[in-house]
């Protein structure tokens, strides 16, 4: 066990953790504003990755260059899903809301399998291939770019929520939708905005992931599970909490994998999750 190994484990964990954080941020935003869990979150990610793949395969657009396209496309998807589906179950029992988003996820996954077959696809050379070496520690180019993009996007989301008029309107709606509407805020539009922003987060994450992860119809499930844990770990509805949760998962997973045994790396993640849920059910930075 030497310093380079520890550093490498930390770096690898941080890089992937930032991406987990971004996916979790989108999920927690939607929940925070309207208390609906989007079980189709992973499938949104999958669609974004396919978008990157097809833009690259047919038009030769690099996923990083086409990132705004993914963000806008997924924003639109989020808004459409809100108006077409979510608004109809807004006052329905929670179970109906769960089934609505869960069903949407199953539908999207099977539609993808039908349209694009269950093959694994990977993008060829992108702008960010290769790696950097710094004192014996390797920084994979695609993961470095993904981590940077994820930090910037999550930071941007936090800034939007806490420092702008529209963000305050969103938070106000989350706090008390009746009071907000009395203040002249249209809750319906705020909910649509939350869905748009939440989906845009995975839109960006999907584009970043597609530079190094393969694309297949079930890819969403792999990341969605971690996003749910990150959200619960950090505290439901808190972007800062989701960020902390995502990074924590990435680092714990990496360190446990290198220094204990790879087979148990997720055991540690879920053990921490259980401890947090038992000792501090509102999450690390969640409000009561």
Which residues are near other proteins by CB under 8 A? Answer: 5, 8-9, 12-13, 16, 20, 119-122, 124, 131, 133, 138, 140, 142-143, 212-214, 216, 222-223, 226, 253-258, 262-263, 265-266
Residue 265 CB, nearest distance to other proteins (Å)? 6
Q: Which is nearer to other proteins, 180 or 247 (CB)?
A: 247
Please report how the helices 3-34 and 239-259 are oriented relative to each other, as an axis angle in degrees rounded to 10.
Answer: 150
CB nearer other proteins, residue 137 or residue 160: 137
Other residues' Cβ atoms within 10 Å of the Cβ of residue 221: 14
CB 83 → other proteins: shortest distance, Å?
32
Tokens of 268: 């540690």
Q: Which is nearer to other proteins, 196 or 257 (CB)?
A: 257
The nearest distance, CB 41 to other proteins, in angstroms, is 15
- Report, in Å, the least distance between residue 267 CB and other proteins: 11
CB of 269 to other proteins, least distance (A): 11
- Cβ proximity to other proteins: between 33 and 230 the closer is 230
State which residue, 5 or 94, has the beta carbon closest to other proteins: 5
On whether the CB atoms of residues 194 and 30 are closer than 8 A, the answer is: yes
Please list the alpha-helical segments (H only) found in the chain. 3-34, 41-54, 67-84, 94-116, 141-163, 165-175, 177-182, 187-209, 219-234, 239-259, 265-279
Tell me the C-alpha distance between 25 and 7, whole Å.
26
If you write DSSP's letter for every residue of 237-276 in order, what string do you get?
T-HHHHHHHHHHHHHHHHHHHHHT-GGGHHHHHHHHHHHH
Contact 198, 27 (CB under 8 A): yes
Residue with smaller CB distance to other proteins, 191 or 212: 212
Residue 79 Cβ vs other proteins, minimum distance, rounded to whole Å: 28
Q: Which of 151, 214, 120 has its CA nearest to residue 15? A: 151
């Amino acid at each position: 066990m030497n310093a380079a190994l520890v550093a490498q484990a930390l770096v690898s964990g941080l890089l992937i953790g930032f991406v987990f954080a971004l996916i979790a941020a989108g999920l927690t935003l939607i929940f925070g504003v309207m208390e609906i869990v989007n079980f189709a979150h992973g499938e949104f990610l999958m669609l974004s990755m396919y978008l990157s793949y097809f833009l690259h395969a047919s038009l030769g657009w690099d996923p990083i260059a086409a990132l705004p396209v993914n963000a806008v496309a997924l924003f639109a998807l989020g808004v459409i899903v809100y108006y077409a589906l979510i608004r109809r179950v807004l006052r329905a029992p929670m179970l109906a809301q769960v089934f609505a988003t869960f069903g949407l996820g199953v539908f999207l996954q099977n539609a993808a399998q039908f349209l694009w077959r269950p093959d694994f696809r990977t993008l060829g050379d992108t702008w960010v291939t290769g790696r950097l070496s710094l004192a014996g520690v390797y920084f994979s180019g695609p993961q470095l770019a993904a981590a940077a993009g994820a930090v910037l996007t999550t930071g941007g989301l936090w800034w939007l929520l806490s420092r702008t008029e529209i963000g305050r309107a969103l938070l106000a709606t989350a706090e008390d939708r009746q009071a907000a509407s009395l203040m002249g805020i249209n809750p319906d539009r705020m909910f649509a905005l939350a869905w748009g922003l939440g989906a845009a987060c995975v839109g960006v994450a999907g584009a970043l992931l597609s530079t190094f992860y393969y694309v297949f119809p079930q890819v969403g499930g792999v990341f969605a599970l971690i996003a749910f844990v990150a959200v619960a770990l950090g505290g439901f509805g808190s972007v800062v909490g989701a960020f902390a949760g995502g990074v924590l998962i990435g680092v714990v997973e990496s360190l446990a994998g290198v220094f204990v045994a790879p087979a148990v790396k997720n055991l540690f993640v879920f053990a921490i999750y259980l401890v947090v849920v038992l000792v501090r059910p509102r999450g690390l930075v969640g409000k009561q």
